[in-house]
């Protein structure tokens, strides 16, 4: 199968590049930036992409590839930091710029062949994120496009088939960025479109069977699309050697426990064991205010619960989880030099003493890809459209200590938010919607009585893959309905606010 290989230099968008290439039905694989050229050669890629990254090429110890990669004769595309790697390697000059570019910029296309073939326009809106730029181009490279702040926003050496882009074609903010990647993958690299989700499912089932063989797998399910799809995939591979367990940690959505039991028993036909661990999770979170500590504590408690279950009901050799790539990249464990944004309980939060091997068949997929997989495997429609829910549950939607009172408030408020969006036919039009509560309080008047109650913040975002997101411009009538229901129906809530920060610079979840 033809493939494109992406070298990860630490960009938060590294796997997004892979995803965009896979959307072209071409298999794409991410490898660490320092992967030896000989190993890359063994992968037989049709093309190689250098990702972006937070470093500067002129800085000491900045990540650099094995330069023998340039001698493989394989087409190369450098993006942002990858673009600067190319300029630096071929004896051009990179410098710090005074007019840094972050956000939208207008790219003027100067060469409509190769990368910009059949683009149709001489100007494109593109997404910039850099403080370094080329001052002097290497010999043999030509300027293919420019912006007001960068004379060489796109460069290329047609003879060597090596190209560089200062902007990010992989993000949705870049106009026709998918066409630019298409041109590199199809026109320049000559890769054939042989990859599909159906093939991925078949390959994954075979891989699970080879990896697990006759061993037993314990699968953590939450009722969300990720863990459910993971369970169905593994069940298809090993049948009765899979045991699915649902842990009620007291941090779940409204009626979650009952809904999950019904889905697995009635709709999926997969046996499910339920563990009531509400008291131990709440006790473990007592006194914790730092979000990373809370995430790690939830992860550690999950591990203890599953270890105890495995010891009593096993033996089991594997713990399966529905980990997705946004979880991995934000936890900084992708194999590249990415910055840790937040630890996810099923990635960085697992302690070393967990004596089970980890099985994560969805580890390199995005949410929309998982939904596509679930659709192919026959997951019920109501589950397909359900909004994402964080592994640590409501603990990350509570700022400060996760007290029982705040858990109750945020659970009820989140339920109201979803309920109103369904009523107003908006639920399926947004990516995620929920409530947040912290320690801030405000004075209110309820029934002619002055009270000092909680401030609840509402978060509703639109996204495609959770790597970037924009706040949703809900109708005022919907916001008014949400606010009225929350203050009328939830005890000790006086104010409701609406969060309007996008990702980046914020994250979707508050903690």
DSSP line for 290-359: -HHHHHHHHHHHHHHHHHHHHHHH----EEE----HHHHHHTT-SSS-PPP----TTTTT--TT--SEEE
Annotated binding-site residue? 227: yes
Q: Of these residues, 170, 301, 369, 509, which one is catalytic?
A: 170
Q: Of all helices (H) and strands (E), which one includes residue 373?
A: helix 367-376
Instruction: Grade residue 130 by pLDDT with cuts at 50, 70 and 90.
Output: low
Q: What residues contact residue 384 under an 8 Å CB cut-off, 6+ apart?
A: 225, 371, 374, 375
Annotated binding-site residue? 507: no
Contact indicator for 56, 359 with CB cutoff of 8 Å:
no
- Single out the residue of 4, 3, 51, 9 nearest to residue 32, CA to CA: 9
Assess whether pLDDT exceeds 60 at residue 346.
no
Instruction: Grade residue 98 by pLDDT with cuts at 50, 70 and 90.
Output: low
Region at 148 (left for phi over 0; alpha for psi -120 to 50; beta for the rest): alpha
What's residue 427's pLDDT?
96
Q: Of these residues, 18, 28, 80, 230, which one is catalytic?
A: 80
Annotated binding-site residue? 203: no
Q: What residues contact residue 470 under an 8 Å CB cut-off, 6+ apart?
A: 461, 462, 463, 502, 503
The tokens describing 325, both together, are: 């790539």
What's residue 307's pLDDT?
84
Q: Give the CA dihedral 226, 232, 235, 236, nearest 10 degrees.
A: -130
- Single out the residue of 425, 442, 451 nearest to residue 496, CA to CA: 442
- Single out the residue of 206, 196, 257 nearest to residue 234, CA to CA: 206
Q: Of all helices (H) and strands (E), which one includes residue 147?
A: none
What's residue 222's pLDDT?
85
Contact indicator for 79, 168 with CB cutoff of 8 Å:
yes
Stretch 267-283: mean pLDDT: 93
What's residue 244's pLDDT?
95
**Known catalytic membership, residue 80:** yes
Assess whether pLDDT exceeds 70 at residue 150.
yes
Stretch 320-333: mean pLDDT: 67
**Residue pointed to by tokens 């064991």:** 273
Assess whether pLDDT exceeds 80 at residue 394.
yes
What distance in Å separates the CA atoms of residue 359 and residue 227, rounded to the nearest whole number?
Answer: 12
Assess whether pLDDT exceeds 70 at residue 353.
no
Contact indicator for 252, 394 with CB cutoff of 8 Å:
yes
What's residue 344's pLDDT?
45
72-89 pLDDT, tens digit each: 999 999 999 999 999 999
Q: Of these residues, 83, 168, 235, 387, which one is catalytic?
A: 168
Least confident stretch, 62-66, 320-324, 413-417: 320-324
Q: Tell me whether residue 228 is exposed, middle or buried, using C-beta atoms within 10 angstroms of its C-beta: 0 to 12, 13 to 18, 19 or more.
A: buried
Assess whether pLDDT exceeds 80 at residue 333.
no
Three-state DSSP class for residue 510:
coil
32-42 pLDDT, tens digit each: 999 999 999 99
**Known catalytic membership, residue 170:** yes
Look at the alpha carbons of 12, 15, 19, 20 in this order and tell me if their dihedral is positive or negative.
positive
**Known catalytic membership, residue 38:** no
Assess whether pLDDT exceeds 70 at residue 352.
no
User: Which is more confidently placed, 448 or 92?
Assistant: 92
Region at 471 (left for phi over 0; alpha for psi -120 to 50; beta for the rest): beta
What's residue 354's pLDDT?
61
What's residue 14's pLDDT?
87
Give the count of beta carbons closer than 10 Å to the beta carbon of residue 381: 9
User: Which is more confidently placed, 102 or 452?
Assistant: 452
Contact indicator for 134, 87 with CB cutoff of 8 Å:
yes
Give the count of beta carbons closer than 10 Å to the beta carbon of residue 33: 24
Contact indicator for 127, 173 with CB cutoff of 8 Å:
yes
What's residue 356's pLDDT?
81
What's residue 337's pLDDT?
54
The tokens describing 396, both together, are: 């990350």
Assess whether pLDDT exceeds 70 at residue 165.
yes
Stretch 366-377: mean pLDDT: 88
What distance in Å separates the CA atoms of residue 123 and residue 499, rounded to the nearest whole number?
Answer: 34
Instruction: Grade residue 151 by pLDDT with cuts at 50, 70 and 90.
Output: confident
Annotated binding-site residue? 59: no
**Full set of structural domains in the chain with CATH:** 3-188 (3.40.50.880), 197-384 (3.40.50.620), 403-498 (3.30.300.10)
**Residue pointed to by tokens 């009270």:** 451
DSSP conformational letter for 278: H
Assess whether pLDDT exceeds 60 at residue 345.
no
What's residue 348's pLDDT?
43
Assess whether pLDDT exceeds 60 at residue 61.
yes
Instruction: Grade residue 349 by pLDDT with cuts at 50, 70 and 90.
Output: very low
DSSP conformational letter for 508: S
What's residue 347's pLDDT?
44
Contact indicator for 452, 505 with CB cutoff of 8 Å:
no
Assess whether pLDDT exceeds 80 at residue 339.
no
Please provide residue 461's backbone torsions phi and psi, each rounded to the nearest 5 degrees. -130, 160
What's residue 171's pLDDT?
87
Assess whether pLDDT exceeds 80 at residue 131.
no
178-224 pLDDT, tens digit each: 999 999 999 999 999 988 888 889 989 999 999 998 899 999 898 88
**Rg of the chain in Å (alpha carbons):** 25
What's residue 99's pLDDT?
61
Stretch 235-252: mean pLDDT: 95
Reply yes or no: is the peptide bond before residue 315 cis, omega within 30 of 0.
Answer: yes
Assess whether pLDDT exceeds 70 at residue 135.
yes
User: Which is more confidently placed, 481 or 92?
Assistant: 481
What's residue 340's pLDDT?
47
Look at the alpha carbons of 186, 192, 194, 195 in this order and tell me if their dihedral is positive or negative.
negative
The tokens describing 388, both together, are: 């994402």
Annotated binding-site residue? 225: yes
Q: Give the CA dihedral 29, 32, 37, 38, nearest 10 degrees.
A: -70
What's residue 417's pLDDT?
98
Q: How many CA atoms does the CB half-sphere of 187 hold within 13 Å? A: 16
């Amino acid at each position: 199968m033809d493939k494109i290989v992406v070298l990860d230099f630490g960009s938060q968008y590294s796997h997004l590049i892979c995803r965009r290439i896979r959307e072209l039905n071409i298999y794409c694989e991410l490898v660490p930036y320092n992967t030896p050229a000989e190993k890359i050669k063994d992968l037989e890629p049709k093309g190689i992409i250098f990702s972006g990254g937070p470093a500067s090429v002129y800085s000491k110890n900045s990540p650099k590839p094995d330069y023998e990669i340039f001698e493989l004769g394989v087409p190369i595309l450098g993006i942002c930091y990858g673009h600067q790697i190319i300029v630096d390697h071929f004896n051009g000059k990179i410098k710090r710029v005074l007019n840094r570019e972050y956000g939208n910029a207008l790219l003027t296309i100067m060469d409509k062949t190769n990368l910009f073939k059949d683009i149709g326009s001489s100007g494109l809106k593109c997404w910039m994120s850099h403080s370094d730029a080329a001052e002097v181009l290497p010999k043999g490279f030509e300027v293919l496009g420019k912006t007001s702040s960068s004379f060489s926003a796109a460069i290329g050496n047609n003879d060597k088939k090596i190209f560089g882009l200062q902007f990010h074609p992989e993000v949705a903010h870049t106009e026709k960025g998918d066409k630019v990647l298409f041109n590199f993958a199809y026109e320049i690299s000559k890769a054939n479109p042989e990859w599909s989700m159906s093939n991925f499912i078949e390959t994954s089932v075979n891989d699970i069977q080879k990896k697990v063989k006759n061993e037993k797998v314990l699968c953590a399910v939450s009722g969300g699309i990720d863990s459910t799809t993971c369970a169905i995939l593994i069940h298809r591979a090993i049948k009765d050697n899979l045991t699915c367990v649902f842990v009620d940690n007291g941090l779940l959505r409204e009626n979650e426990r009952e809904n999950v039991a019904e889905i697995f028993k009635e709709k999926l036909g997969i046996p499910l064991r339920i563990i009531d661990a509400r008291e131990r999770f709440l006790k473990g979170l007592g006194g914790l205010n730092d979000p990373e500590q809370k995430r790690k504590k939830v992860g550690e408690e999950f591990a203890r619960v599953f270890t105890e279950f495995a010891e009593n009901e096993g033996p089991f050799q594997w713990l399966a989880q529905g980990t997705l790539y946004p979880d991995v990249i934000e936890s900084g464990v992708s194999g590249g030099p990415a910055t840790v944004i937040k630890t996810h309980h099923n990635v960085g939060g697992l302690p070393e003493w967990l004596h089970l091997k980890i099985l994560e068949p969805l580890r390199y997929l995005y949410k929309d890809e998982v939904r596509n997989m679930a659709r192919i495997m026959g997951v019920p429609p109501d589950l397909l459209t359900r909004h994402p829910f964080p592994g640590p549950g409501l603990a990350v939607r509570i700022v400060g200590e996760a007290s029982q009172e705040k858990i109750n408030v945020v659970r009820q408020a989140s339920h109201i938010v979803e309920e109103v969006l369904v009523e107003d036919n908006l639920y399926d039009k947004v990516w995620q919607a929920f409530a947040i509560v912290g320690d801030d309080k405000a004075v209110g008047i309820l029934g002619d009585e002055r009270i000092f109650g909680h401030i609840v913040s509402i978060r509703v975002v639109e996204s495609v893959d959770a790597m970037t997101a924009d706040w949703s411009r809900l109708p005022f009538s919907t916001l008014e309905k949400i606010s009225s229901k929350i203050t009328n129906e939830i005890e000790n809530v006086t104010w409701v606010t609406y969060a309007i920060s996008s990702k980046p610079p914020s994250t979707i979840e508050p903690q």
